[in-house]
Chain A
Amino acid sequence: MQQAQSQGQQHPIGLYLKIWALLFVLSTLSYLVDYFHLEGALRWSLILIFMFLKAGLIVAVFMHMMWERMALITAILVPPLCLLVLIMLMASESWWTFLTRLDFFG
């Protein structure tokens, strides 16, 4: 049995239920950020923290990434880091556009 399933990912249901509960709590917390009208840096940092925690739990446990071999983990998780470059380029470009628009139309 163990041999036949050696390629599969089998983990106790209890673990899934705990992660599920944790995701519920994190979603409630991120909803409360909006509900209590938190503003500024506190709002943005809380949104990002809860978002990364939720995303991490889903990828690591529900998608079994933490039990995969390093070859697969790096092949899937490293390429999206390119997106950080795109985000930085586009953010600075859009601030430039914004300031230019203020100059000409503001």
Chain B
Amino acid sequence: MSQTDSKAEGLKGLIEDWASDQRAFRVPWGKAMMWIFLLSDTFVFSCFLVGYMVVRISVTEPWPLPTEVFALTISGQSIPLVLIAIMTFILITSSGTMAMAVNYGYRQDKIRAACLMLVTALLGATFVGMQAFEWSKLIEDGVRPWGNPWGAAQFGAAFFMITGFHGLHVSIGVIYLSIVALKILAGHYEKAGNYQIVEIAGLYWHFVDLVWVFIFAFFYLW
């Protein structure tokens, strides 16, 4: 694993430098690749949020108040943002169960690790379900990507784009976690005794939670 000092120049040197056993990150390749993917995903979500910032600053019409748009009436009382708050707590809880799954994975406790991952996936599916409810409620209220009854037309475009892309990530995460959990239960990692895959899947899941922290702050609370 030591670094090789290539003396070759030109094309041969290029090939040797890229092909030889160079190593910067002392983590398994899967983990390094997941981190690099998450870094690129950070830029994707940041572009959406910056785009949202641009329209929110530059519109002259009033921006619809999220606290009123996302209020739910429960037993005659209008509670601001209540569904979003519950969704936030569900996602944080799923991050907690995911962290515990990683711990049990490294202890070779495959039943507990897989079950906690399935619980995480179930919480994620609940989150997506509540988001579907929120979307259908807003569509019913007349929110469209090109307009809404309360003010700046760009509200709908930003809302559907940002929460839609996040919801897509959660849905993919649910599938990803379920596949890994079922593979663990089926004993795919038994022979190698290496449950690193749980930590790598966990990185993706925590990232989805991380993105929601920013969406919650900038889109729903701001």
Hey, which bits of chain A sit against chain B, CB under 8 A?
4-5, 7-13, 16-17, 19-20, 23-24, 27, 30-31, 33-35, 37, 44, 47-48, 50-51, 54-55, 58-59, 61-64, 68-69, 71-72, 75-76, 79-80, 83, 86-87, 90-91, 93-95, 97-98, 101-102, 105-106
Contacts and interface: CB of A to CB of B under 8 A. Distances in A.
Main secondary structure on A side of the interface with B: helix
**Which 4 A-B residue pairs are closest in the complex by CB-CB distance?**
A20-B96, A94-B57, A51-B217, A97-B58
Nearest to B54: A94
Contact of A8 (B43, B58, B196, B207): B196
Given A27-B85, A47-B222, A86-B50, A34 B80 contact: yes
Contact of B80 (A8, A35, A64): A35
B67 interface: yes
Contact of B213 (A5, A55, A63): A55
Q: From A50, A76, A80, A95, name the one whose CB has the most chain B CB atoms within 10 angstroms.
A: A76
A38 B103 CA distance: 40
Interface of B: 24-28, 32, 35-36, 38-39, 42-43, 46, 50, 53-55, 57-60, 67, 80-81, 85, 88-89, 92-93, 95-96, 98-100, 102-103, 106-107, 193, 195-196, 199, 202-203, 206-207, 209-210, 213-214, 216-217, 220-222
B95 A20 contact: yes
B67 to A, nearest CB: 5
B112 to A, nearest CB: 11
Contacts of B220: 34
A23 B67 contact: no
A90 B54 contact: yes
A10 B103 contact: yes
Given A27-B92, A33-B221, A35-B80, 10 more contacts: A23-B92, A23-B95, A27-B216, A34-B67, A63-B203, A63-B207, A71-B26, A83-B50, A90-B54, A91-B57
Contact of B103 (A11, A23, A35): A11
B217 A30 contact: yes
A56 B31 CA distance: 20
Contacts of B55: 94
B57 A58 contact: no
Contacts of A93: 54
A38 B195 CA distance: 46
